[in-house]
Structure 1
Amino acid sequence: MRNISDIIEQHLKQILTNSQGVVEIKRSELADEFQCVPSQINYVISTRFTVEKGYIVESKRGGGGYIRITKVGLDRNKSLHRTILDIIGSSLTSREAEGFIHRLLEEQVISTREALMMRAVVCSDILALPPGVRDQVRASHLSAMLVAILKG
């Protein structure tokens, strides 16, 4: 059985698909619809609709406030290689790396096998280093793997 976060995520993704990649919601209305607390909506949006996963989230607070979620594809007009390296940057947490690998897989930039290998190389268990250094090494490893894959 799926949990409420999964259900809310799927609902928002369905709306995004039907509305050509942009959705504006009122947090309280969505919470009422799913009979949950508004902080549950915040949790779903902040953990499942991140830049690494291909989303831009904007919010306006106040009486007429809203949350706007925009699905952003990889910029194929720009060099895909350059776009990916810009997103990765010089440091990447384990969660960010996982989100980014999932996005590349979802957009069919990499295969399932390549995603599994990337996950194995960038996981925290393998990188037994201090956190700041670990995040830099993770970004470097992921960037190097993607450069090799995209050139191949």
Structure 2
Amino acid sequence: MNMQGQNISDVIEKYFKKILLDEKAIVIKRSEVAELFNCVPSQINYVINTRFTIQNGYVVESKRGGGGYIKIEKVNLFADQEFIQTLENLIGTDVSQQEGYDIIQSLYDEKTLTKKESNLILATIKKDAFLGMDTNLENTVRAKMLINLINRLRYEE
């Protein structure tokens, strides 16, 4: 592998995503992947925890121990009611601007939102739109807006 000039996390992420182009899910052993990339197993955890999140359209399941594994599954946003509920639970009662941006980016990447729709939503949830509102209140309002959007898209034909 040519990792020259590339961050190891980027290389590992690309490796998983390339497999997920052909497969709906992959099951890996951390130690085997760490050995493949000549890195520590915690590096694999870092990549999975930061780049394969529910906001990015992935569900991760892990089992620890001798026969342990990590399963990464790409989910089709809005086709899976359980995923929608999980996304709503993740948003909860407050969400930061960056978390909101990540969610909208995933919806755009999955072609659930058009570029124009995504840009309109991003403009709506950006910090400037809240006119100096207290950060806690801003994050609460942003979360309510995103949950309303998700619920509206759930029923779109």
TM-score between both structures, scaled by the size of structure 2 = 0.74
Give the letter for the 2:21 counterpart: T
Given that 2:29 and 2:68 are in contact with CA atoms closer than 8 Å, whether structure 1 keeps it comes out as yes
Q: 2:77 aligns with which of 74, 89, 94?
A: 74
Residue number in structure 2 paired with 1:137: 141
Partner of 1:100: 103
Q: CA deviation at 1:25?
A: 0.7
Instruction: Give the match's secondary structure for 1:52.
Output: helix
Identity %: 42
Per-residue CA deviations over 1:10-68 (Å, capped at 9, x if unaligned) read: 1111112222x111111111111112222221111111111122211111111111111
Determine the structure 2 residue equivalent to 1:51: 54
RMSD: 2.9
Q: Which amino acid counterpart does residue 42 of structure 2 have in structure 1?
A: S
Q: In structure 1, the residue corresponding to 2:55 is in which secondary structure?
A: coil
Q: Give CA-to-partner distance per residue, 1:118-146, whole Å, 9 cap, x none.
A: 22332346544444423211122334566
Structure 1: stretches of 5+ with no match in the other structure: none
CA contact (8 A) 1:56 1:71 kept: yes
In structure 1, the partner of 2:114 is: 111
Q: 1:15 aligns with which of 19, 25, 28?
A: 19
Checking the alignment, whether the CA contact within 8 Å between 2:88 and 2:147 is kept in structure 1 is no
Residues 86/131 of structure 1: CA separation in 2 closer, same or farther (3 Å cut)? same
